[in-house]
Structure 1
Amino acid sequence: MQSPNLIDGTPYTGVSSPKGTSPVPAKFNERSPMRTPPKAGSTNKLHYVPVTMLEDVQALRTVAFHPSGSLYAIGSNSKVLRICSFPDIQDIQQSHVTQPANVVFKRTKHHKGSIYCLAWNAQGNLIATGSNDKSVKLTTFSLDTCTADGPEIELTCHDGTIRDVLFMEEIANHSSTLVSAGAGDCSICITDCERGTLVRKMQGHSGHIYSLCQLSSHMFVSGSQDKTARFWDLRASAALTCVPSMEPGSAFASVCVDPSGRLLSSGHEDASVMLYDIRGGRVVQSFKPHQGECRTVRFSMNAYYLLTGSYDQKIALTDLHGDLLRPLPSVIVAEHKDKVIQCRWHPSKLSFVSTSADRTVVCWALPLP
């Protein structure tokens, strides 16, 4: 019987590297968080430093990086959309004093309700936001002037809170399709961004959809309160595959696919994190790096590490080097004063941004030795 960590007959150990070379890219070797994986019970003191912080009057829910990595957008319960510049983290020391985030754009009352989710398109000139006012907004943004003075489209195809939005890009013709999902009738809406028109609704989930993640140019994954994740193709009307959570079953609060498209990670309400072999169609393993609901999971840019955030107020880093069937070393690398809602890696650096119910969004970086 084929081992569950085999994909097309090859052991899955993250992104493969040439024989005889380090599995960590050379440019990250000097400051790789876990060059020596922590052993169980070790007193590893690895901790990211809070470089900048922004505070709001209400919980900050969602964050997304501009594709260039120079900016990140933030959505909050106070209905405010902000865009901040990413700080210089080149020479961050352990003794660094946290600075206020540099806000380059701010729009109050961007929605009539809380901003639950947001995303940038691949060109970085369009921002999608979803809210509990049951609407999605497409806002044109200029990187050169840091303004959003272009046309804005409001989509009203949902009948409940929008919990996640995802741009699917057609690189050949530079067109964008928006996938949006959430509560209400639990349908997934597919929208043509150029025309601002609904293409179709995709149905199959029986509970609120919490999370979306792209798998390929035309495929994506959804995670739901109904304790399943489903794989969809934009060219088909129904889900291709339905993946249940591990027994006794727990809602999929977050889903993420690694850059190779071979491994799905999911965070669950029972504090567990599941790794699923997409090509093999089987669970690799489930583990618990947290003591509270795991609301956010994200692979690093080369899938060597998994970033997870939880309602236990902690952010953990799990080392994915080696055999994924064996116990995976996890280290708590950052903490908030209240529930962690979302974490996102920088597109090209081992740095991340997190949002929390403590009303802050924080940029974290690994300090120099």
Structure 2
Amino acid sequence: MIEEFHKVHEASIYCLAMSPNGYYLATGSNDKAVKIFSNAQEGLKMQTEMTSHDGTVRALQFLPDNAQSALLASGGAGSGRVYLTDVAVEQVLSYASPSNAGVITDITAPTRKQLYLTSGSTVVAWDTRKKNTEVLNLGEVPVQSLSTNTGETNFLATGSENGTVAFWDLRNTELPLYKERAHNKAVRSIAMRGQWLLAGSMDTKLSLHSLQQFQNLITINCEEKIVGVDISADIDCAISTQSDGSCHFWKISFDSAEL
């Protein structure tokens, strides 16, 4: 352990995100606040607190970085608003209120202009240059989690409340390119890197999917509900966090397609 902070929030920390350059760390909590820490590579220090939200902050996502600023999208319960904040100057730049306003459970940002988010269990697209959002028709299964590849606005991975993992071409959403009922409970978190897709579920299982072969390659039982998953930028390893507070690191073997 490099550093430890106590009582950062007045309630449990629900989500966190790190900026692409590793300089900023954001945390969101049941206390309705977002806190920003800076200088993450040399020793974290508290920079500011954002109090725009009127409900639990459930999703945080830094937008792809252009080295000019660090833009953070945040959303959650309450009004259902999603805020876009420049954390470097501590200023809210814009916000969107999806027409089907509900709890925001996940946010993904393939570019600095395009966001996808779950609002009321449906998927919504937000062009950050505008106030309006667009509901995407991805079928009737309530979506819980989202992921995109940086720079690719046409493709989206989703995890649903019924345990389904899917991969979509948003130019034609009549049918997903890939769909698998990989879990028997909600897919709480999903991460896509290149042609690999990692899903973590409340059924305590972790599943790894190939979007080249369009199949579920392996499923692992972690014994506790899985809260979050991610894949490293070099697609060399994966991480999962569990409801008991534990964190697992996994080596991805391309030769054997295993975790």
Q: Is contact 1:314–1:332 with CA below 8 Å preserved after alignment? A: no
Query: 1:313-334, CA deviations, whole angstroms, 9 ceiling, x for partnerless residues?
Result: 1101112115xxxxx3213343
Partner of 1:111: helix, strand, or coil?
A: coil
CA distance in structure 2 between the aligned counterparts of 1:354 and 1:262, rounded to whole angstroms: 27
Residue identity opposite 1:365 in structure 2: K
Residue identity opposite 1:270 in structure 2: N
Other-structure match for 1:163: 58
- Where do residues 1-369 of structure 1 align in structure 2 (5 Å cutoff)? 103-143=1-41, 145=42, 147-149=43-45, 151-169=46-64, 171=66, 174-204=68-98, 205-224=100-119, 226-239=120-133, 241-247=134-140, 249-250=141-142, 252-259=143-150, 260-284=152-176, 285-300=178-193, 302=194, 304-322=195-213, 328-366=214-252
Q: Is contact 2:114–2:126 with CA below 8 Å preserved after alignment? A: yes
Partner of 1:107: helix, strand, or coil?
A: coil
In structure 1, stretches of 5+ residues that fail to align are 1-102, 323-327
CA distance in structure 2 between the aligned counterparts of 1:197 and 1:216, rounded to whole angstroms: 20
Partner of 2:234: helix, strand, or coil?
A: coil
Partner of 1:108: helix, strand, or coil?
A: coil
Q: CA deviation at 1:288?
A: 0.6
Partner of 1:283: helix, strand, or coil?
A: coil
Superposition TM-score, scaled by structure 1 size: 0.64
CA distance in structure 1 between the aligned counterparts of 2:117 and 2:211, rounded to whole angstroms: 23
Q: CA deviation at 1:106?
A: 1.0
Q: CA deviation at 1:286?
A: 3.1
Partner of 2:175: helix, strand, or coil?
A: strand
CA distance in structure 1 between the aligned counterparts of 2:241 and 2:30, rounded to whole angstroms: 18
CA distance in structure 1 between the aligned counterparts of 2:80 and 2:252, rounded to whole angstroms: 39
Query: 1:28-86, CA deviations, whole angstroms, 9 ceiling, x for partnerless residues?
Result: xxxxxxxxxxxxxxxxxxxxxxxxxxxxxxxxxxxxxxxxxxxxxxxxxxxxxxxxxxx
Cα distance change on mapping 1:330 and 1:311 into 2, 3 Å = same
Superposition TM-score, scaled by structure 2 size: 0.90
Residue identity opposite 1:299 in structure 2: M
Q: CA deviation at 1:282?
A: 4.1
Partner of 1:130: helix, strand, or coil?
A: strand
CA distance in structure 2 between the aligned counterparts of 1:306 and 1:352, rounded to whole angstroms: 10
Q: Is contact 1:293–1:310 with CA below 8 Å preserved after alignment? A: yes
Residue identity opposite 1:339 in structure 2: K
CA distance in structure 2 between the aligned counterparts of 1:122 and 1:364, rounded to whole angstroms: 22
Q: Is contact 2:226–2:242 with CA below 8 Å preserved after alignment? A: yes
CA distance in structure 2 between the aligned counterparts of 1:190 and 1:320, rounded to whole angstroms: 31
Higher relative contact order (CA 8 A, sep 6+): 1
Cα distance change on mapping 1:350 and 1:170 into 2, 3 Å = closer
CA distance in structure 2 between the aligned counterparts of 1:243 and 1:274, rounded to whole angstroms: 14
Query: 1:293-344, CA deviations, whole angstroms, 9 ceiling, x for partnerless residues?
Result: 11111112x2x2211111111101112115xxxxx32133432121111111
Q: CA deviation at 1:185?
A: 0.6
Q: Is contact 2:9–2:31 with CA below 8 Å preserved after alignment? A: yes
CA distance in structure 1 between the aligned counterparts of 2:240 and 2:232, rounded to whole angstroms: 11
Q: Which has the larger radius of gyration?
A: 1
Query: 1:95-135, CA deviations, whole angstroms, 9 ceiling, x for partnerless residues?
Result: xxxxxxxx111111111111111111122111111111000
Residue identity opposite 1:206 in structure 2: A
In structure 2, stretches of 5+ residues that fail to align are none
CA distance in structure 2 between the aligned counterparts of 1:165 and 1:153, rounded to whole angstroms: 15
Count of residue pairs brought into register by the alignment: 252
- Identity score, percent: 26
